[in-house]
């Protein structure tokens, strides 16, 4: 009987070993490095790409009546005095300034134009999307040096039943043309003040926050 019991235990060990040998390897979850502290940069920089619903202020030096405060329409265009239906989406403020200057050159000599972005949404590829158990899931316009903490503040933090430390960040890698997935520790960041959990974000990132199963 003792021999039979020993054989059964040995068979159990062998079966378990075979099952483990045939199981696929589980890749370790990747984490992003902590974001360095960068002071608030305010409005978007000179490389910002104007998107639909952005609010712009156009100044024309010595001709203030030709400027205006306008919102980019959903079709991506703006209308100004003497200019109708100019495409704004996809341009930097500097590029749009040049285009407005060229259009106004028909009416005035050597116009000097500047464009300021007041409220910005950005194009789709410049937004960070937060879905799932955030207090206010939303798409947030990317700003230079934006971090996870910045985004969580903008959406009001986590909802009551969020599992913040099981959140994921999905990022498209244009080099490999593949999606990358990173683990986020939002609970640690917001509830325990773990600054190492505050990571730097990139335009186009998607943050997925699951709900707790309890």
SS3 track for 72-92: CCCCCEEEECCEEEEECCCCC
| Boundary (domain end) residue, out of 119, 141, 163 | 119
137 belongs to a structural domain: yes
186-200, pLDDT tens digit by residue? 999 999 999 999 999
pLDDT of residue 43: 57
User: Which CATH number covers residue 183?
Assistant: 3.10.560.10
Q: Are residues 154 and 205 in the same domain?
A: yes
Q: Are residues 86 and 154 in the same domain?
A: no
| Boundary (domain end) residue, out of 72, 99, 119 | 119
pTM: 0.60
pLDDT of residue 123: 72
Lowest mean pLDDT among 158-162, 173-177, 203-207: 173-177
91-117, pLDDT tens digit by residue? 999 999 999 999 999 999 999 999 999
Q: With beta carbons less than 8 A apart as the criterion, state whether 164 and 158 touch.
A: yes
Q: Are residues 159 and 191 in the same domain?
A: yes
pLDDT exceeds cutoff 80 at 82: yes
Q: With beta carbons less than 8 A apart as the criterion, state whether 34 and 199 touch.
A: yes
147-167, pLDDT tens digit by residue? 999 999 999 999 999 999 999
1-13, pLDDT tens digit by residue? 444 444 445 344 3
Start-to-end C-alpha separation, the chain? 47
The total of structural domains in the chain comes to 2
2-54, pLDDT tens digit by residue? 444 444 453 443 334 433 344 333 334 577 777 665 555 555 666 788 888 88
Range(s) of the domain holding residue 173: 124-209
| Boundary (domain end) residue, out of 74, 100, 119 | 119
């Amino acid at each position: 009987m003792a021999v039979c019991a020993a054989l059964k235990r040995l068979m159990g060990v062998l079966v378990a070993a075979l099952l483990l040998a045939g199981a696929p390897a589980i890749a370790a979850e990747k984490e992003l490095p902590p974001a360095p502290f960068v002071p608030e940069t305010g409005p978007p920089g000179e490389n910002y790409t104007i998107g639909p619903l952005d609010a712009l202020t156009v100044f024309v030096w010595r001709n203030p009546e030709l400027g205006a405060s306008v919102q980019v329409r959903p079709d991506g265009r703006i209308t100004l005095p003497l200019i109708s239906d100019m495409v704004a989406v996809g341009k930097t403020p500097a590029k749009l300034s040049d285009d407005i200057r060229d259009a106004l050159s028909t009416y005035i000599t050597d116009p000097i134009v500047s464009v300021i972005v007041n409220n910005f949404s950005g194009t789709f590829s410049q937004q960070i999307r937060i879905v799932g158990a955030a207090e206010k899931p939303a798409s947030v316009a990317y700003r230079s040096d934006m971090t996870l903490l910045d985004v969580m503040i903008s959406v009001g933090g986590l909802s009551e039943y969020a599992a913040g430390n099981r959140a994921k960040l999905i990022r498209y890698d244009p080099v490999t043309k593949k999606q990358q997935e990173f683990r986020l520790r939002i609970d640690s960041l917001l509830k325990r003040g773990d600054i190492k959990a505050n990571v730097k974000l990139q335009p186009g990132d998607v943050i997925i926050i699951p709900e707790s199963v309890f």
